[in-house]
């Protein structure tokens, strides 16, 4: 099988490519140039897809004895990931750029090009597993190592994309084993730090970056009654559930801290309230997809089926009931969960299997609104 190995320059993708070679596939390595500033270098564990990463990927490909290419996807990445991230924040939503990158770059643009060039599959270093059922259907499942499981960020993949995806690290019990294997193979990335945070904001200053891209207009911080209790220097920099960085002038009646409940870009308001007001009893979204077979084909009742829902990459899944209602995927957790925000991705699991996902458009609070300020 002809396999295109996406090599980020990190240890996971290098070992994934090596395992594809060991499996007897005809492997070609490719590094995606996503930055529009090619001179940029990593800062410790921040940033990725830089010149340094490209060179690390090339060295790994040389050790493995496979052809290696760099493909410039920077324009597509800017349009589909960076610009989308800016637009979502400007609309008061909380986007996940890793989801968009997997959806629109690694398993859309890259896969499309790979197939057009005659490749059968794209291999990546994600920790997730693909299971083929007895009747030949491919399913996306959690990795063996739950601590490293990355099936959440792959929840946007469709059945057609899964048909051409390969995750050689899915059954690996630990990251330590991957690093040890890389060292044994003579790969220089064996001890390279994992990248974290948002790859295109290499200094980690998301608030400053957004202020430059979206603008930062001072405005009011209000409680749930609409009373002004403080000021902010730019609403787009705030996310639901945030506690730090709030310039509040009026104390809460009970003296407890307040949290961001909502961001209103049209009025440039940030709404805050008590922690319990973050509890969400229902969330839903219209932008949904299924990772292979949909609920009906999976033997589930689309009007109501049991599942687990996960709303962040490192969040614990929670028991829930889900339903397809009109154009929406509606999810009701058994117990209210905190800090669900429009723009986040809700991934739905049945056991270890990823059934599908939706981008959250709306939420329903479990706590009734009330005034939160000290009476004057």
Residues carrying an active site annotation: 101, 199
In total, the chain counts a number of residues equal to 376
8 Å CB contact between 9 and 30:
no
Using CA atoms, how far apart are residues 77 and 72, in angstroms rounded to an integer?
Answer: 9
Place of tokens 């990355």: 150
8 Å CB contact between 35 and 50:
yes
**DSSP assignment, residue 83?**
H
Enumerate the H helices of the chain as residue ranges: 11-22, 51-64, 74-77, 83-90, 97-101, 110-116, 159-162, 175-184, 206-214
8 Å CB contact between 150 and 169:
no
Which residues are CB-contacts of 270 (< 8 A; sequence separation ≥ 6)? 219, 220, 221, 222, 232, 235, 238, 246, 260, 262, 263, 264
Pairing of strands 287-290, 353-359: antiparallel
8 Å CB contact between 251 and 308:
no
Q: Which two tokens stand for residue 292?
A: 């292979």
- DSSP, collapsed to helix, strand or coil, labels residue 327 as coil
């Amino acid at each position: 099988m002809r396999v295109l190995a996406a090599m980020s320059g990190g240890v996971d993708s290098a070992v994934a490519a090596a395992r594809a070679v060991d499996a007897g596939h005809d492997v070609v390595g490719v590094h995606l140039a996503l930055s529009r500033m090619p001179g940029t270098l990593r800062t410790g564990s921040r940033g990725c897809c830089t010149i340094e990463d490209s060179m690390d990927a090339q060295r790994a490909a040389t050790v493995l004895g496979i052809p290696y290419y760099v493909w410039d996807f920077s324009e597509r990445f800017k349009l589909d990931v960076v610009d989308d991230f800016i637009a979502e924040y400007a609309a008061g939503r909380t986007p996940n750029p890793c989801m968009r990158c997997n959806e629109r770059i690694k398993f859309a643009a890259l896969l499309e090009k790979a197939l057009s060039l005659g490749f059968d599959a794209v291999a990546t270093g994600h920790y997730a597993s693909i299971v083929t059922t007895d009747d030949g259907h491919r399913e996306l499942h959690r990795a063996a190592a739950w601590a490293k499981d990355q099936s959440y960020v792959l929840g946007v993949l469709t059945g057609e994309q899964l048909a051409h995806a390969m995750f050689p690290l899915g059954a690996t019990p630990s990251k330590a084993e991957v690093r040890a294997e890389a060292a044994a193979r003579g790969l220089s990335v064996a001890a390279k730090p994992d990248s974290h945070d948002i790859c295109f904001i290499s200094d980690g200053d998301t608030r400053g970056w957004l202020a430059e891209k979206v603008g930062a207009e001072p405005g009011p911080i209000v409680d749930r009654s609409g009373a002004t209790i403080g000021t902010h220097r730019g609403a787009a920099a705030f996310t639901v559930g945030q506690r730090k960085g709030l310039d509040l002038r009026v104390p809460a009646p009970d003296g407890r801290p307040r949290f961001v409940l909502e961001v209103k870009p049209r009025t440039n308001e940030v709404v805050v309230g008590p922690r319990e007001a973050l509890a969400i009893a229902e969330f839903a979204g219209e932008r949904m997809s299924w990772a292979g077979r949909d609920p009906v084909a999976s033997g589930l009742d689309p009007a109501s089926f049991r599942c687990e829902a996960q709303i962040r990459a490192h969040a614990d899944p929670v028991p829930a009931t889900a339903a397809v209602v009109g154009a929406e995927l509606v999810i009701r957790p058994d117990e209210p969960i905190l800090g669900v925000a429009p723009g986040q991705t809700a991934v739905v699991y049945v056991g270890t299997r990823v059934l599908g996902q939706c981008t959250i458009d709306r939420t329903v609070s479990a706590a009734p609104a009330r005034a939160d300020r000290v009476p004057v």
